[in-house]
A and B are shown apart, each in its own frame.
Chain A
Amino acid sequence: MNDPAAVAAPGAPSVAGASPPSLRRALAAALLRDLMVTARHRADAVTGLVFFVVVASLFPLGVGSDARLLREIGPGVVWVAALLANLLSLPRLFVADHADGTLEQLLLRPQPLPLLVLAKVGGHWLTTGVPLVLVSPLLGVQYGLPADAIGVLVLTLLIGTPVLGLLGAVAAALALGLRGSGVLTALIVLPLNVPLLIFGSGAVQSQMAGLEVGGLLSLLGAILALALVTVPFALSQALRIACE
């Protein structure tokens, strides 16, 4: 096996150019890599979830056991806990990739970078956002929310956590490579999350007050649609600057 030619695929095009790259294959590879890496760092993935549950469980200890008060603050507390848990997971998104060079290689792929980073953020959401959504009904029960309000809570988190991931990714990319990037990320991303917090917990409270929630859910959906379309481009630019 000393001849490099022996390793080359038989009939591979010589210098004419690479075979047409398959976008779907590339996106699958980007997603798969992040999922595989997370699968080998399971403790990291669980940390965010445990943090979410612990923060949400601390509030009743602090404010007392008044059932009516807990029901009232429940949606807000769960949403704030989700915000903080998301913040905790953001450094994992790009820091390791930046350090080992996979990020700069990602910038040199023959596929559109916005789609590749969208796949990355999607993988991040699957491992950090979805667990929060799945465990949130339990927290709703803990705060004594009625069943229909729990349904709305899950729905708002299902729409909201991808947006948290997208906005957080931009902040993480902007702070990449800077000293104290964790704090900076928090300062950039928390104000951006305010509308989500208001609409998300507001929808659950409206449901409990017997008001119409369709409008607030539509607003959340609109934010998600807007973020899905615009954030990948901003994120690509931020990453190009970070790697320069």
Chain B
Amino acid sequence: MLQAQELACVRGDRRLFRGIGFELGPGTLLRVQGANGSGKTSLLRILAGLGLPAAGEVRWHGTPIRRQRETFAAALCYLGHLVGLKDELTPAENLRIEAGLSGWSVPGRGGERIAAALAFWGIERQAALPLRVLSAGQRRRAALARLLLADAAPLWILDEPFTALDVQAVQRLADVIGQRLAQGGIVVLTSHQEVPLAGATVQTLTLQ
């Protein structure tokens, strides 16, 4: 259960938003929309605990996230604008290290599960190439492979996850998100395009 209470965000001397509040139960998708610069990314960063709100607070299962950083982090998978992977390493190496850092279970040294996650996104042929030589869409797919490994994390916060993806990958991501919701996960995302999700509880938040 993710609760936001009276959140406000100030950038410089400009107020981006205030009085944002919502409550997301299991199986809910929150889609944050708004024009460029309306504070979507700032809101997501505040929800993830990366940014500090000017007012209000974020609670996870009733406790403010700042007072349970590590518990909250174990429940969260955050995907920002930046891929969060090293250019010098291959997608497979990156994911193996991701799994180690986040404590995701990847049995058998993780090889099979990571290979399966890369194959799901259609980048198994690039698994041994350094990330630096991959295209924008392929890098994005490598970052999205984290979602398949983070399948025990009940909260996903995804900032523009559909960016740079082709039609087929957009549909796959929608399937992955749909399945997460069906299992009782909570997903918060920003997107400029309609998300093709059937049968999920969708809340929409529009930032002015």
Contacts and interface: CB of A to CB of B under 8 A. Distances in A.
Contact of B152 (A17, A104, A244): A17
A16 to B, nearest CB: 8
B49 interface: yes
B97 A33 contact: yes
Contact of B148 (A4, A13, A112, A243): A4
Contacts of B148: 4, 7-8
B7 interface: no
A26 B83 contact: no
Contacts of B89: 33, 36-37, 40
A109 interface: yes
Contacts of A2: 172, 175
A5 B172 CA distance: 12
Contact of B86 (A12, A17, A102): A102
B198 to A, nearest CB: 15
Q: Which of B97, B116, B176, B179: most chain A Cβ within 10 A?
A: B97
User: Chain A interface: which size bin?
Assistant: 35 or more
A76 to B, nearest CB: 37
Given A1-B120, A244-B52, A17 B84 contact: no
B43 interface: no
B152 A14 contact: yes
B183 A15 contact: yes
Contacts of A9: 105-107, 113, 151
B154 A28 contact: no
Interface string A24-38: 011011101100110
Given A29-B97, A110-B73, A112-B70, A244 B51 contact: yes
Interface of A: 1-2, 4-9, 12-22, 25-26, 28-30, 32-33, 36-37, 40-41, 99-102, 104-112, 116, 243-244
Interface of B: 26, 48-52, 70-71, 73-76, 78, 80-89, 93, 96-107, 113, 116-117, 119-120, 130, 148, 150-154, 172, 175-176, 179, 183-185
19 contacts: A7-B148, A8-B151, A15-B26, A15-B185, A17-B154, A18-B75, A19-B103, A19-B152, A21-B102, A32-B100, A36-B88, A40-B130, A100-B83, A102-B85, A104-B50, A105-B84, A109-B102, A111-B103, A244-B52
